[in-house]
Amino acid sequence: MPSWTHLIAFALVALGMVLTPGPNMLYLISRSISQGRRAGLVSLAGVALGFVSYMLCAAFGITALVLAVPFAYDALRFGGALYLLYLAWQAVRPGGHSPFQVRELPMDRPRKLFAMGLLTNLLNPKIAVLYLSLLPQFIDPGHGSVLAQSLVLGLTQIGISLSVNAAIVCLAGSIARLLARHPAWISVQRWMMGTVLSVLALRVATQARR
């Protein structure tokens, strides 16, 4: 089991990542607004399968990495920090927009909704970086099985992501209407997220190598 300190820290990173606009959020919000909550939740089920696939691949891959190249953690650490800074810039850059400013999508059947949710997640670079660059930093071989720690952290990320995304799916229409009436909140949301991601990037970059 990972230590409680690492588990809580990783949970905060996972929360910051899921709240950052990306392919998953954009697709789920667009689908929910265009076709309703049920379509959004079916799409989210596909996203969930993508998370499980990444978790299993990363867990076994990270185990092999720890045993073979322990010093690779430094490269992963700085790579993860740089990506977080990139996400922070995307949130606050001039010309950026809120994910709730979305386009209409055609009506699709549940099977296609599920498949599109899965594909969107599998092709999402943010999730790949989360599992390959960020997750390894919260694993300490001194706390037992690397594989078990990877699975616990992965399940934590999946639980947080699914909970947040389910809430977003259910509230997408209401949030979109609220932001349309109060456009200033769009800028507030973007700058708050940029600040959170910058702090997380600093934390990742300055974490001592184990």
Instruction: Provide the token pair at 68.
Output: 């073979």
Q: What is the pLDDT of residue 123?
A: 76
55/127 Cα distance (integer angstroms): 10
Cα torsion at 56, 59, 60, 63 (round to 10°)?
180
Segment holding 149, helix H or strand E: helix 146-181
Q: What is the pLDDT of residue 159?
A: 95
Give the CB-side neighbour count of residue 154, counting CA atoms within 13 A: 27
Question: Under a CB-based contact definition with an 8 Å cutoff, are residues 73 and 210 in contact?
Answer: yes
pTM, full prediction = 0.68
Instruction: Provide the token pair at 173.
Output: 């229409």
Q: Considering only CA atoms, which of 161, 135, 182, 202 is closest in space to residue 20?
A: 161
Q: What is the pLDDT of residue 24?
A: 83
Q: How much helix, strand and coil, in percent to the nearest 5, is found in the chain?
A: 80, 0, 20
Q: What is the pLDDT of residue 102?
A: 54
Number of residues written out for the chain: 210
For the chain, list residues with pLDDT below 50: 66-67, 209-210
Question: Under a CB-based contact definition with an 8 Å cutoff, are residues 210 and 93 in contact?
Answer: no
Q: What is the pLDDT of residue 83?
A: 66
Contacts with 106 (C-beta within 8 Å, 6 or more apart), sequence order: 34
Instruction: Provide the token pair at 187.
Output: 């800028």
Instruction: Provide the token pair at 171.
Output: 């509230």
Q: Which residue has the tokens 């697709």?
A: 27
23/35 Cα distance (integer angstroms): 18
